[in-house]
Chains A and B, each alone.
Chain A
Amino acid sequence: MRRVLGLIAAEAVKYWAEIKSYLFNTLSWLVALYIIFLTFFLGLRHFAGPNVDGAKLDSIIVGYVTWMFALMGFQGISYGVVEETHKGTFEQLYLSPLGLETIFAVRILYEFLYSLVFNSAILLLTMVTTGRWLSLGISGFLKLLLLLTLSLPSLWGLGYLFGGLAMLSKKMGAFLQVISFLLIGLVALPGYPFKPVSLLPFTAGASSLRALVCSSGSQTFPLLWYLFLLGLSSFYILVGLWLYRMCERIARRRNLLGQY
């Protein structure tokens, strides 16, 4: 555990250093996010008139944010492998006694927190600027956080799988972009209440989030549903990790680690 704390501290050092180093990119992204949210708020009012259904606005914004989280969850690990290989640091990461999957798990948690803080901050700023407020409420927001936290890890499992495949074929980078767009499908499919498609990664969670937002935060879910989301995420993480380790073993056998 003490070692993991060392890793968490190290990733914080690196994360902060890279934010500073890519300050222009960071600021550009924040401005772009602000403009996107402004467009949602003001554009919708402009086209649909001032009496636009508040739930619809909430639904669009939360749908967009959910997709962004889904992208981040998936890409954090899969693109992480490709990027580290490009940078020529992948093998050094592999030399960590903590294991690559632990390093990426810590990174993905930072990404999650970072996105959560900045998305919330920019959303809040947009609401202050436009005077329009999401009708989710505090309890609705907390439920949203819980659903996101329980269901998003299923995409991390997918990220591990594609990260493993990226070790074997560095051409995976282009393919990952296609997969990223296919995530829209996972987010958009109706997964609540339970249907067979609910078993797909993140579909049940994304669908629950939409249901929550459309009810302005009043939608309640049975405990079993939360457990189902947790179980599904655990399943995808375990399968993803298992396949990732299989790919890692093949990569080691063929001397493909870090090769680009």
Chain B
Amino acid sequence: MEKGRAIVDVRGLTKIYRGRKGPLSALQDLSFQGRGGEVLGILGPNGSGKTTTIKSIATLIEFDAGEVSVMGVDVKKQPRKARSYLGAVLEGARNVYWRLTPWENLLYFAGLRGLMPGEIRERAKDLLDSLGLAEVSHKQVRFFSKGMQQKVAVACAFITKPPVVLLDEPTLGLDVETARKMRSWILETARDEGTFVLITSHDMKFIESVCHRVLVLKEGRVLREGTPESLRNLFSQKVYRIVLEEDPQEWLLTLLQPFPGFRIERDERGDSLLFSLKDPSELYKVFALLQSAGLTLRSLDILSDDFEEIFLDILKDGGCPEPTVRREG
């Protein structure tokens, strides 16, 4: 697979569901590209259009406007050809046959794409080994935990080395350790095989750690797009914890109130003052106030950002992170 080449091209994707309660816009003019070797994450609250995006690329949904191509093939004009380039794990579905073993499932799903068992034996063995399924490869999937079943589904999605793999909520039901291994495995496979992997997930940590790029969707529109780092930098606000030798007086707390994200945490050590500041130089103003009150600083900690908080900020602010806009009022 040619790495770095745009192999998925989504332009102006629009989908409107027409129900009894009137039309519901699921996707509005969505555009993005996916390149070989890249892992792209889609984040968004329920109903933001994540699954509709995946299903539109997978030809499972007929969209109303826009163009989607996979490996240069228009999914509307040549859906079958486009499907031959795809592997997928779909949300809310079993994806694999529970009465079959992982081995049989792999042979079966390869066959659905027209490959003979002899052509994929080595690949199947490699997948089972690398996903830790080798020992249970001849046991029926119905006896597996949810996490193991999900791994079988992921293996089936990758069995034919498709250039594009769509993973809708692949970490559902996975324990922390399995999710961590899955993350490394997806990254390595995408890199080594030049696969474009599109992932939707509610697991922010998973998305942050596995994706090269993230799209944040809300109500069918892209609010933000960028690397996890760029989103972090754009939206991050360091949380500073200040612990004083003695508890601050009420009047001082009133003066501190206007500072962004100001709150007090009380524990056995006394009061901690917390601030979520985008601009660290604002700390000078805080220190000036503390000094004027004659309070002695015991410690200052910088707490790490939480990607989940950043994501919630993006949703809340509609993709406009300017502090002046955000902090007014």
Please tell me if B297 contacts chain A, counting CB pairs below 8 Å. Answer: no
Tell whether, in the assembled complex, residue A252 and residue B61 are in contact, meaning their CB atoms are under 8 Å apart: yes
Q: Which of A6, A11, A17, A94 contacts B99 (CB 8 A)?
A: A17
CB within 8 Å of B: which A209-260 residues: 249, 252-255, 257-258
Instruction: From A30-38, A83-91, A177-185, A186-194, give the one contacting chain B.
Output: A83-91
Give the complex CA separation of A22 and B90 in angstroms. Answer: 27
Tell whether, in the assembled complex, residue B84 and residue A97 are in contact, meaning their CB atoms are under 8 Å apart: yes
Tell whether, in the assembled complex, residue A6 and residue B93 are in contact, meaning their CB atoms are under 8 Å apart: no
Tell whether, in the assembled complex, residue A95 and residue B88 are in contact, meaning their CB atoms are under 8 Å apart: yes
Which residue on A lies nearest to B87, using beta carbons? Answer: A95
Tell whether, in the assembled complex, residue B111 and residue A6 are in contact, meaning their CB atoms are under 8 Å apart: yes
Nearest CB in chain B: distance from A25 CB, A: 11
CB within 8 Å of B: which A1-58 residues: 2-7, 9-11, 13-14, 17-18, 21-22
Number of chain A residues close to chain B: CB under 8 A = 36
Tell whether, in the assembled complex, residue A249 and residue B93 are in contact, meaning their CB atoms are under 8 Å apart: no
Please tell me if B112 contacts chain A, counting CB pairs below 8 Å. Answer: yes
Tell whether, in the assembled complex, residue B114 and residue A2 are in contact, meaning their CB atoms are under 8 Å apart: yes
Residues from chain B with a CB closer than 8 A to the CB of A98 are 80, 112-114
Tell whether, in the assembled complex, residue B101 and residue A17 are in contact, meaning their CB atoms are under 8 Å apart: yes
Which residue on A lies nearest to B58, using beta carbons? Answer: A95
Tell whether, in the assembled complex, residue B97 and residue A91 are in contact, meaning their CB atoms are under 8 Å apart: no
Tell whether, in the assembled complex, residue A257 and residue B60 are in contact, meaning their CB atoms are under 8 Å apart: yes
Nearest CB in chain B: distance from A6 CB, A: 4
Tell whether, in the assembled complex, residue A89 and residue B112 are in contact, meaning their CB atoms are under 8 Å apart: no
Q: If A96-B112, A98-B114 touch, does A88 touch B52 (CB 8 Å cutoff)? A: no
Tell whether, in the assembled complex, residue A96 and residue B113 are in contact, meaning their CB atoms are under 8 Å apart: yes
Nearest CB in chain B: distance from A186 CB, A: 32
Please tell me if A103 contacts chain B, counting CB pairs below 8 Å. Answer: yes
Give the complex CA separation of A254 and B55 in angstroms. Answer: 12
Q: If A6-B111, A7-B112, A103-B112 touch, does A95 touch B83 (CB 8 Å cutoff)? A: yes
Please tell me if B158 contacts chain A, counting CB pairs below 8 Å. Answer: no
Nearest CB in chain B: distance from A4 CB, A: 7
Please tell me if A196 contacts chain B, counting CB pairs below 8 Å. Answer: no
Nearest CB in chain B: distance from A260 CB, A: 10
Tell whether, in the assembled complex, residue A89 and residue B117 are in contact, meaning their CB atoms are under 8 Å apart: no
Residues from chain B with a CB closer than 8 A to the CB of A90 are 93
The 4 closest A-B pairs by CB, nearest first: A10-B111, A3-B114, A88-B94, A97-B84
- What residues make up the interface of A, taking CB atoms closer than 8 Å to B? 2-7, 9-11, 13-14, 17-18, 21-22, 87-99, 103, 249, 252-255, 257-258
- List 25 A–B pairs whose Cβ atoms lie within 8 Å, in order of A's numbering: A3-B114, A5-B114, A6-B116, A7-B114, A10-B108, A10-B111, A13-B117, A14-B104, A17-B100, A17-B101, A21-B140, A87-B94, A87-B97, A87-B98, A92-B90, A92-B95, A93-B112, A95-B86, A97-B113, A98-B80, A98-B112, A252-B60, A253-B62, A254-B17, A257-B60
